Amino acid sequence: MTAERNREIVRNIYRDAARGDLGFVNSRLSPEFAVIEADGLPYGGTYTGPQGLVEVFGRIRETWEGFLSSQPHSWPTAILRP
């Protein structure tokens, strides 16, 4: 698999999780997948599985609403640049 294909998969996971669409996310993430956010953050904690990814994105969106809504597609892409 090419690096570009890997980036495309990750972009699609971020996009769909941010929308709350678990179809593609479920097909790509293990139920044991975990996101661990620092306890000092308003959304700190451990989020497990595809639903956990959707949950943490929702909490991040609530916290950073002004920032994310002004540039809804730039934040996942920015972290995926080679």
Distance CA 24, CA 14 (A): 10
Give pLDDT, residue 66: 60
* Residue closest to 46 by CA, chosen among 38, 54, 30: 38
- Domain extent listing, the chain: 3-76
Per-residue DSSP letter, 35: E
Distance CA 16, CA 81 (A): 19
Question: Mind listing the pLDDT tens digit for each residue in 41-56?
Answer: 999 999 999 889 888 8
Q: pLDDT-based confidence at 67, cuts 50/70/90?
A: low
In this structure, are residues 25 and 19 in contact, taking their beta carbons and an 8 Å threshold?
Answer: no
Q: What is the pTM of this model?
A: 0.67
- Torsion 55-36-18-12 (CA) sign: negative
